[in-house]
A = this chain, B = another copy of it.
């Protein structure tokens, strides 16, 4: 049992910063989204993923996997969205167990009117505060962490500081 390697000052700074940003950024984006469009962030994400498909239709399990949600959570959330008329469910022809989530016209209007404001908020509170190099670093770093979480066997190594371009 060797001694714990605590976080040094820089590591601690990064870790605390990440957690504070996560909390405050989420709060602010959710606040603006609710105020401007009457949608929660989960609502927005569901509608957004649906609207990116050609037909505005997705198998429930496929949508859940894309969003990294449990089927249970998605099912509950769809009930609420369905009651508000944003989505409907249809039976799946191939698989009688399945159900297909369908964007309603109202749902499409909702996401289309919400998107510009939301993207602007993401820019204003995050993206436009970063240098291009930081945007790239954030993209690289987050995807490396995600890949490692999905498959720790990959031993997702730190890229070598030098070399490579």
Contacts and interface: CB of A to CB of B under 8 A. Distances in A.
27 contacts: A4-B120, A5-B123, A7-B127, A10-B132, A10-B135, A14-B130, A14-B142, A17-B139, A17-B142, A18-B126, A20-B68, A21-B145, A24-B68, A24-B145, A24-B149, A24-B150, A25-B149, A125-B145, A125-B149, A129-B156, A129-B158, A130-B144, A131-B158, A132-B161, A133-B161, A134-B140, A134-B158
A25 B161 contact: no
A21 B137 CA distance: 14
Q: Which 10 A-B pairs have the closest CB atoms?
A: A17-B142, A14-B139, A13-B139, A4-B116, A21-B142, A14-B138, A24-B149, A17-B143, A137-B137, A20-B146
A159 interface: yes
B130 A141 contact: yes
A28 interface: yes
A156 B22 CA distance: 18
A134 B137 contact: yes
